[in-house]
Amino acid sequence: MHTLSQLQSGELTGITRLKLAQNLTHFPMEILSLADSLEILDLTDNQLSTLPDELVELKKLKIVFASNNQFEILPEVLGRCENLEMIGFKANKIKHVAEEALPPKLRWLILTDNELESLPDSLGHRPRLQKLALAGNRLTQLPQSMSQLHNLELLRISANQLDVFPDQLLELPKLAWFAFAGNPFCHCDLHSQTVPEISSTSYELQEVLGQGASGVISKASWTEQQHRFPDEVAVKVFKGEITSDGYPKDELQTCLKLGDHPNLVKSLAQVNEPDRLALIMELIPSHYKNLGLPPCLDSCTRDTFAPGFTLSIEQIDKIVCEMTDVFEHLHHHQVCHGDLYAHNTLFDEQANIIFGDFGAASMYHMLSEYQQEKIKQIEHRALVHFIDDMLNVCSFEDRGSELYQSLKERIA
């Protein structure tokens, strides 16, 4: 984090990344003094509503983040920034995106949690676009031109007002991570009772185990003696608002619809109260650890891994077999996970995996057979990328093995 006084004093001359969060109401024109070096401008968590035309003077600018501000229009000056690739304006009040507001080199666009009812046709004419997040708006349709987004890999359209499934997305050749729940076209009255409902007073939350876009997972113990559940459990308390992936209630129902599988986090009970939505789960043994790390700005849609991380080909083969079985289980139940990644996977030394995080999951049993088959094909691309990522961390001495070549052939 930087300060305005640092910028004004010249202390930040030559930096490539600037982050200012000081309740700003106007764009600090001193930022233009960084024109020779600035590549990433992060103005998240301010009170901005406009950007100046002079932004184009930042010739090296590649990334602009301005989430949690007061923008009602996506600034058109962004479209004139010739090297701009990534735009993040989550949680503003954006109602309009002009045809000219999208830069020609756009690769990553985040407009989650705004007030958009439509999008410009120019969106489909940004051939480098890989990642597009539009959840939590008021979209009633998507541009037909999006059928031309041949490099689009990740798409979030959950929690909008789409009455008809946007079929123009189904033939996109690289789409792999797709979330669409919470729209009228896939409305579902299904309320799974595969696990019992309990009161939120039945347990007491302890230390936080993890958290994501849709909620916080904590260790918990029972406030009264239980005979049907383990002594210690994990509880995911869902956030009440729209997340980057959609509605928490859709995530809960999807988890319950899937039932039990040895490689999924086991659901034990649910809380479905007016002010509390929660899922009680088995506590994952502490020796499990994350298989991967989330994508970074450079990788955009692909997972990253800790430096030096490797696996034997035998471990990889087991992990791939178990994830493939998970994939088949998901689609047998007509569920698209939407986030099939190593960073949502836990593993142990025996290469057993536990797969979770259903925030981007979508049920699709209400769609046509053609649409269902295409959705399964889309997620199969994510499985192929998962296998590819696993092979990329294979130990060097195993890369000549028959098993390695066999797995390599699966993604050819």
DSSP 137-182: S--S---GGGGG-TT--EEE--SS--SS--GGGTT-TT--EEE--S
Q: Which two tokens stand for residue 202?
A: 């039945």
408 is in an annotated binding site: no
Ranges of beta strands (E only) in 157-284 are 177-179, 203-211, 215-222, 232-238, 267-273, 276-282
Pair of tokens at residue 181 = 């729940």
Give the other-Cβ count within 10 Å of 90's Cβ. 20
Is 250 exposed, middle or buried (CB count within 10 Å of its CB: 0-12, 13-18, 19+)? Answer: buried
Compute the Cα dihedral for 107, 48, 213, 194 and give only its sign. negative
Write the CB contacts of 95 (distance below 8 Å, at least 6 apart in sequence). Answer: 72, 73, 114, 115, 116, 117
Tally of CB atoms within 10 A around 158: 32
Tokens representing 122 are 């120019």
CB burial readout 48-75, b (16+ within 10 A) else e: bbebeeebbebeebbbbbbbbbebeebb
Phi, psi of 51 (to 5 degrees): -125, 145
Judged by DSSP in three states, 31 sits in helix
DSSP tag of 293: B
Phi, psi of 236 (to 5 degrees): -100, 115
Number of alpha helices (DSSP H) and beta strands (DSSP E) in the chain? 5, 18
- Tokens read off for 382: 């994510």
User: Residue ranges for the binding site for ATP?
Assistant: 236
User: Residue ranges for the binding site?
Assistant: 236
